[in-house]
Amino acid sequence: MCSTSRTVDLVEAPMDFGRQTIASVAQLLAALRSDAAEVLLYKHLGIHRNDLIPPGAAVMLDALRYAQSDDVKSLVGELVRENDAVRADASEEYIFNGRWRELERWLLHDGWGIENKQLVRLVPGVEESTGIRDRLLEELEATGLDGDGAIRNCIEDAAKSFSVEPPNYNDSTTKVRIALETFARRAASTLAQTGSILYPQDSWGKALSLLKTANVLESDEEEILARVYTFISPGAHVPAGVTDEEWARLARTFALSSCYFLLKKYKAT
């Protein structure tokens, strides 16, 4: 447990960073000497650890999860800005270096870069910074449409492909597109069975059509989702001047935002 001089509601605050980045920050802090990590937590989050609780990544994670987003961003900013000085406080430099490389990859995954030892926002923004992916995964379980974990696995594998070294941007985009298609097809199939609706062909286009017939989607919503799917499909035209990384980030944002929208519409029926 952590104690603080200010009142903190034990509710996870919206973050500028996804959960993997937050976890990576916790692991990095745990790689420091306990006194150095505690000073950073107190400096930016106003939290002082109870001396009876041993330091560790889990303790750091709890502190970060319930902190304000601006405070966490301030802490990450110092880790980036004063990287050399912070590294000097590490118990084992090789462990710190590994954790630092991991943090850099997840920051990039969330749409943040490091330039001249400053944390900078990259564009277009990635879906993790909005929290859509994490909310999607949480609400997905309640639908009963992902009992085998196939959709979750696609979404999580997409994140790993984006942040792995070297990144596999094509695989990352493909996996989120598959997640969107799989959700739509399973939603359509379920509605067809429960509503005795004719659903002769299990495909992306037929799924959207049935979802419109079942009043899950309006005509314009069906058209938008169809366009998103085409936009991020293999062989789609990548705009001139856009890097592979920027394209993958944009495609992932479109795909997961569309999947979350479709999930909300499905749950509302």
Domain match, 117 and 131 both = no
Q: What is the pLDDT of residues 21-48, one digit of tens each?
A: 999 999 999 999 988 998 999 999 988 7
Q: What is the pLDDT of residues 157-192, one digit of tens each?
A: 998 888 776 788 889 999 999 999 999 999 999 999
Q: Is the pLDDT of residue 9 over 80?
A: no
* Cα–Cα dist 154/151, whole Å: 5
Domain match, 151 and 231 both = yes
Q: Which has the higher per-residue pLDDT, 71 or 162?
A: 71
Looking only at the bridges linking them, the beta strands covering 2-4 and 47-49 are antiparallel
> Which percentage of the chain shows pLDDT scores above 90?
47
Give residue 78's domain range: 2-121
* Cα–Cα dist 226/220, whole Å: 10
Structure confidence at residue 150 (pLDDT): 96
Residue 127 has what DSSP assignment? G
Stated as kind and residue range, the H or E segment containing 41 is helix 34-45
Structure confidence at residue 123 (pLDDT): 55
Kindly report the backbone phi and psi dihedral angles of residue 90, in degrees, each rounded to the nearest multiple of 5, phi listed first. Answer: -80, 145
Q: Is the pLDDT of residue 98 over 90?
A: yes
Domain match, 97 and 220 both = no
Domain match, 58 and 185 both = no
**What mean pLDDT, rounded, does the chain reach?**
84
Domain match, 169 and 186 both = yes
Alpha helices in 117-240 (DSSP H): 132-143, 150-163, 169-195, 204-213, 219-231
Among 104, 121, 138, the domain-final residue is: 121
Structure confidence at residue 1 (pLDDT): 33
Residues with Cβ within 8 Å of residue 207, at least 6 apart in sequence: 181, 184, 185, 187, 188, 189
pLDDT band with cut points at 50, 70 and 90 for residue 148:
very high
Domain match, 214 and 107 both = no
Structure confidence at residue 142 (pLDDT): 87
Domain match, 154 and 247 both = yes
Domain match, 68 and 171 both = no
Domain match, 166 and 225 both = yes
Q: Extract the tokens encoding 63.
A: 């502190």
pLDDT band with cut points at 50, 70 and 90 for residue 84:
very high
How many domains are contained in the chain?
Answer: 2
Q: Is the pLDDT of residue 57 over 90?
A: no
Among 73, 103, 121, the domain-final residue is: 121
Q: Which of 79-93, 131-145, 181-195, 210-224 comes out lowest in average pLDDT?
A: 131-145
Domain match, 148 and 85 both = no
Residues with Cβ within 8 Å of residue 166, at least 6 apart in sequence: none
Kindly report the backbone phi and psi dihedral angles of residue 264, in degrees, each rounded to the nearest multiple of 5, phi listed first. Answer: -65, -40
Domain match, 24 and 94 both = yes
Among 97, 121, 145, the domain-final residue is: 121
Domain match, 225 and 164 both = yes
Structure confidence at residue 208 (pLDDT): 95
